[in-house]
Amino acid sequence: MADPFFETARDGIRLFVRLTPKSSADRLDAVAEDGAGRLRLKARVRALPEDGRANAALAALLARAFGCAKSDVAVVAGVTSRSKTVHLRGEAERLAAIAEGLAGA
């Protein structure tokens, strides 16, 4: 069985994301396995992957989806990679429920 695509933390959740920059729209897609068999939430942003623009667009997209401030969203691993770990700060139970809803969508 694959690892979950998020984990709870003391002050929120860590979300494992596969980002595709230069897309036609900013959107969250389904949860899917990556090449190593780990689950990732697939995200697409229109921004180019330069000067942190794609990461900023991802933060804005996740902030809207999870109903939190952009300042509560931080890419903590994979800054220059398509596979990222994103920390969302807030009530872990509420954020986890939203993440589970995204997986079912």
Question: Is the confidence at residue 1, as pLDDT, over 60?
Answer: no
Do 61 and 43 form a contact (C-beta atoms < 8 A)?
A: yes
Is 17 within a domain?
yes
Kindly report, residue by residue over 21-35, the tens digit of the pLDDT. 999 999 999 899 888
Segments forming the whole domain that contains residue 63: 6-104
Do 28 and 58 form a contact (C-beta atoms < 8 A)?
A: no
Do 67 and 36 form a contact (C-beta atoms < 8 A)?
A: no
pLDDT of residue 75: 97
Kindly report, residue by residue over 53-99, the tens digit of the pLDDT. 999 999 999 999 999 999 999 999 999 999 999 999 999 999 999 99
Is 37 within a domain?
yes
For residue 89, the domain's CATH number is: 3.30.1200.10
The total number of structural domains in the chain stands at 1
d(CA 105, CA 69): 23
Please, what is the average pLDDT of the chain?
A: 93
Question: Is the confidence at residue 6, as pLDDT, over 60?
Answer: yes
Is 1 within a domain?
no
